[in-house]
């Protein structure tokens, strides 16, 4: 996929002096609910009203959305407030109905992104559209799969494209509903710098009291916008109650967020930043030197295990190392999540080295 300069033009059309904001309920529940929330958001920083019409649920029996009738409610909300309307689509039938009801923004959910056949079906149904189409990251942390979905849409001659970062599933217990894995979104941003990148703190956190924190992290990383689930009565929402905020709380979040400058042209800033970056570069080189030395010792351990016919993986020893590093890392101001990820990577590299020795 080429980095087409036209890909970001739709965002500049909004002529905003702040990041793009998409907000609205997880699910459209009733006409009254949709209209009331839209009215509350009309005179705020929200540019696009979102509402789930079709809801893919993990297990059958849950609320799966009101269906096509909800599109008529969105039409009324658009006519009354002037807000653009956004819905999730999961197949060609959804696309057809959304276009018939003049929905402005269509997003593809994480569960759909993992299925290339489904994304291709949607791309074919949208071919050549001038609607804005947003692609959420896949459920699993797979950048290639995310890019592949984007390429299918791009190849369908859809120019108003963007991506939504909603975090990734993990079997490990973390404070997030979906682990952000910020580096994957940053890699996407680096590959396609002209593609709008929008953060979904509602699905990353799963908790309304963390939305402010994650939204600020996204803005600090130069994200182009936010998509936040908003409900007039979150505790009694028909889906994802814990992660929705009221319109008044949403407005307070906007008020408290700080939008950073991308850079500063002042000579003082440039000089000080270059000095600090030089120090970082020196530390990075030392880290690589230390890791290289560590792997040489791992090779010696592999040779000893081969000589004595000992298994590579020693679970007790590995857990002792991890516990020790978590404790020492905490004393140095390093988070447990970071230490676990770092030493898992080091441990895997060490295992790979030992396997080469043993199998040679």
List the domains of the chain with CATH numbers.
5-256 (3.20.20.70), 267-358 (1.20.59.10)
pTM assigned to the model: 0.82
- From first to last of its 360 residues, the chain has per-residue pLDDT tens of 655 655 557 998 999 989 999 999 999 999 999 999 999 999 999 999 999 999 877 777 778 889 999 999 999 999 999 999 999 999 999 999 999 999 999 999 999 999 999 999 999 999 999 999 999 999 999 999 999 999 999 999 999 999 999 999 988 778 999 999 999 999 999 999 999 999 999 999 999 999 999 999 999 999 999 999 999 999 999 999 999 999 999 999 999 999 887 778 788 888 898 999 999 999 999 999 999 999 999 999 999 999 999 999 999 999 999 999 999 999 999 999 899 999 999 999 999 999 999 998
Other beta carbons within 10 angstroms of residue 292's beta carbon come to 9
CA separation, residue 235 to residues 243, 244, 246, 304, 353 (Å): 9, 8, 10, 60, 52
Question: What number of CA atoms fall less than 13 Å from residue 10's CA on the CB side?
Answer: 22
Classify residue 271 as exposed, middle or buried by CB count within 10 Å of its CB (0-12, 13-18, 19+).
Answer: exposed
CA distance 65 to 281: 51
């Amino acid at each position: 996929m080429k980095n087409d300069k036209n890909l970001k033009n739709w965002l500049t059309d909004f002529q905003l002096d702040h990041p793009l904001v998409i907000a609205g309920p997880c699910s459209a529940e009733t006409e009254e609910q949709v209209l009331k929330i839209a009215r509350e958001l009309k005179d705020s920083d929200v540019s696009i009203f979102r509402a789930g019409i079709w809801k893919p649920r993990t297990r059958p029996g849950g609320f799966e959305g009101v269906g096509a009738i909800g599109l008529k409610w969105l039409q009324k909300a658009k006519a009354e407030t002037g807000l653009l309307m956004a819905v999730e689509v999961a197949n060609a039938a959804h696309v057809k109905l959304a276009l018939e009801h003049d929905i402005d923004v269509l997003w593809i959910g994480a569960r759909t992104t993992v299925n290339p056949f489904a994304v291709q079906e949607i791309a074919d149904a949208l071919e050549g559209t001038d609607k804005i189409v947003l692609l959420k990251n896949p459920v699993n942390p797979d950048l290639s799969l995310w890019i592949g979905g984007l390429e299918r849409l791009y190849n369908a001659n859809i120019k108003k494209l963007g991506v939504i970062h909603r975090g990734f599933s993990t079997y490990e217990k973390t404070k997030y509903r979906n682990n952000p894995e910020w580096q994957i979104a940053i890699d996407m941003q680096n590959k396609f710098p002209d593609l709008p990148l929008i953060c979904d703190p509602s699905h990353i956190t799963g908790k309304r009291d963390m939305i402010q924190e994650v939204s600020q992290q996204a803005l600090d990383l130069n994200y182009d916008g936010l998509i936040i689930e908003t409900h007039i009565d979150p505790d009694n929402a028909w889906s994802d109650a814990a992660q929705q905020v009221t319109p008044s709380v949403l407005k307070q979040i906007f008020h408290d967020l700080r939008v950073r400058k991308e850079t500063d042209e002042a000579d003082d800033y440039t000089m000080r930043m270059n000095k600090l970056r030089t120090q970082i570069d020196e530390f990075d080189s030392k880290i690589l030197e230390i890791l290289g030395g560590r792997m040489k010792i791992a090779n010696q351990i592999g040779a000893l295990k081969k000589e004595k016919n000992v298994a590579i993986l020693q679970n007790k020893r590995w857990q002792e190392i991890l516990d020790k590093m978590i404790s020492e890392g905490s004393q140095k101001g390093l988070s447990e999540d970071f230490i676990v990820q770092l030493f898992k990577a080091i441990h895997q590299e060490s295992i790979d080295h030992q396997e080469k020795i043993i199998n040679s």
